[in-house]
Structure 1
């Protein structure tokens, strides 16, 4: 009987975490959808927009296509991001709980990083094909559409580009980049959260009446911790993000097909043709502009949903 109650509680905990994480991801990605699209166009050197900067590119999209075109590919993004974010946040809570119970000094000091990296790898493995499809849809220019929607893009890639491998093109650099990105994101956020609660309990935190009286981050505190975590994580993993995009979009232009031949070769091609600043870190400015509010919104919404769903009991310092 006790075992059944415990299993029910575990399932309830997982279900509420999945909901909280999914909503957090959808809010975050919708907030920065226009910046996501111009980032993809700049990363992959779109012939229509590669001569523009961030804001010039956004204005050019509205002028040449339409205002709605700023959100091109966001439908596929929403289909992907709910299971992705739900899995990532829930996996993090499960891994963190498990690692916290191990009596291994090295793991105890880095449990947040390991749990975050594991959560990132778990979520991206399950949802990667949708990311590839979303990138293809976002890269299309009005009047030059190759795909009519999510299903058409998936079926076309599967039939003409080598089956399931086409949907997972660029997966290796994504996986390699996900370890530092997700690891540092969660580690920095959790560390800053503890720091704020310990040293700024009255300015960046508040007591929550819904729990046992522990401290929770205020909205400014959540945004500050989330934004800083996003900036650190993106700085470390960005070149691999560029590599992933070039591999995903290689087949869309005959002149860029050589970018889909493997992670190491793609990195070398990018460096050889465009260098570090204009190649490996191409679009980094827009990435900071989008990543900071995106991660801040994601963590803030997740923390808020945890409190609303009684998943956060607060922290006592």
Structure 2
């Protein structure tokens, strides 16, 4: 999710020469990974609550978002809010790294080789980058969801390695690690695409119409204009909110399918269509397909703020501008 733009009137290419591009992909990989880890660590407690609400954990099923945030530390200790975050960090570094790097690569291919211009290339590149990152890191997301769903005193898995071992042995080998992949991919395409599209469009409009107000020179290249931190926060928050609203029911289906054997009546979550139909019939739209969405809106602002701010900082530290 590149967030730079050339200063109006500057003719110097913002990416530099081939020599300056040496190991560019590696530096971009690191920048995306660090940004992802920082963002996810910031909102880890909210992510745990979201999983508990989405899958209707019986210990917290009668509670709302803020009630669960208060109840988890009382029942499981403060670190209970970060249960599964270790697995998340193992997953999110390659996920963020692959997504950011893939987006830049896909965007260049779409523009340079296929001649696709305008804002549509962001939508396409974002969708493909999101799908690529999901497929590469999905087993780690599965493990993280299983660990986060556990409640103190009822542990089924001792840790990340044990979860891998048990799922592989009891749930069909490697296929067990990809339960819920279909709704994840279907949901990720519009989510990532809309996120990149909305943010990129807002960025372009902002830097085109009010570059001195909304932008500032990059610390590693004064010829490149980047968004100010508070503008990153605003644009990222809007993009995340829109994308979440569109794709959230598929995220609920994904979590249900991932948890599978951890839930009663696991056969009801065998396919995406069965899962969506069951959740809708049993709980409706507001308390089923969109249960926990308010939490995602609350997560959106701090997550995007940390992600974009960190990524922008890392781009400058690693001389990516």
User: Is 1:223 matched with 2:196?
Assistant: no
Residues 17 and 89, structure 1, Cα contact 8 Å, conserved in 2: yes
1:237 aligns with 2:237: no
Match of 2:160 in 1: 150
Local SS of the residue matching 2:274: helix
Compute the displacement of 1:19 (Å). Answer: 0.4
Give SS of 2:99's match.
Answer: helix
Alpha-carbon shift at residue 272 of structure 1 (Å) = 0.7
Counterpart for residue 111 of structure 2:
100
Equivalent residue for 1:267, pick from 251, 269, 276? 276
Work out whether 1:295 is the aligned partner of 2:304.
yes
Query: Superposition pairs for residues 274-313 of structure 1, below 5 Å?
Result: 274-312=283-321
Q: Deviations along 1:20-61, whole A, 9 cap, x unmatched?
A: 000000001001000000000000000001111111101000
Which sections of structure 1, spanning at least 5 residues, go unmatched?
1-5, 313-317
Deviations 1:253-301 (A, max 9, x none): 3x23133310111111111111111110011111111133213321222
**5+ residue gaps in structure 2?**
1-16
Match of 2:136 among 126, 130, 133: 126
Shift of 1:10: 5.2
Normalised TM-score (structure 2): 0.91
Q: 1:117 corresponds to which residue?
A: 127
Partner of 2:180 in structure 1? Answer: 170
Q: Is the 8 A contact 2:219 2:316 kept in 1?
A: no
Structure 1 distance, partners of 2:300, 2:171, is: 31
Name the CA distance, whole Å, in 1 between partners of 2:119 and 2:231.
23
In structure 2, do the counterparts of structure 1 residues 11 and 143 end up closer, same or farther at CA, with 3 Å as the change threshold?
Answer: farther
CA distance in 1, matches of 2:291, 2:299: 14
Superposition RMSD on alpha carbons, in Å?
1.6
Relative contact order (C-alpha < 8 Å, sep 6+): which is higher? 2
- Which residue is 2:42 aligned to? 31
Would the aligned equivalents of 2:43 and 2:302 in 1 still touch at CA under 8 Å?
yes
SS of alignment partner, residue 60 of structure 2: coil
Structure 2 CA distance for aligned equivalents of residues 209 and 120 of structure 1 = 29
Q: In the alignment, what sits opposite 1:315?
A: none
TM-score w.r.t. structure 1 length? 0.92
Q: Is the 8 A contact 2:28 2:315 kept in 1?
A: yes
Distance in 1, matches of 2:180 and 2:219, equals 46
What is the Cα deviation at residue 98 of structure 1?
Answer: 1.4
Q: Are the equivalent residues in 2 in contact too, given 1:100–1:108 (CA < 8 A)? A: no
Tell me the secondary structure at the aligned position of residue 203 of structure 1: helix
Q: For 2:22 and 2:212, locate their aligned partners in 1 and report how far apart those are by CA, in whole Å.
A: 35
Residue-pair matches, total: 305
Q: Which residue of 2 aligns with 1:3?
A: none
Do the aligned residues in 2 keep the contact of 1:38 with 1:58 (CA within 8 Å)?
yes
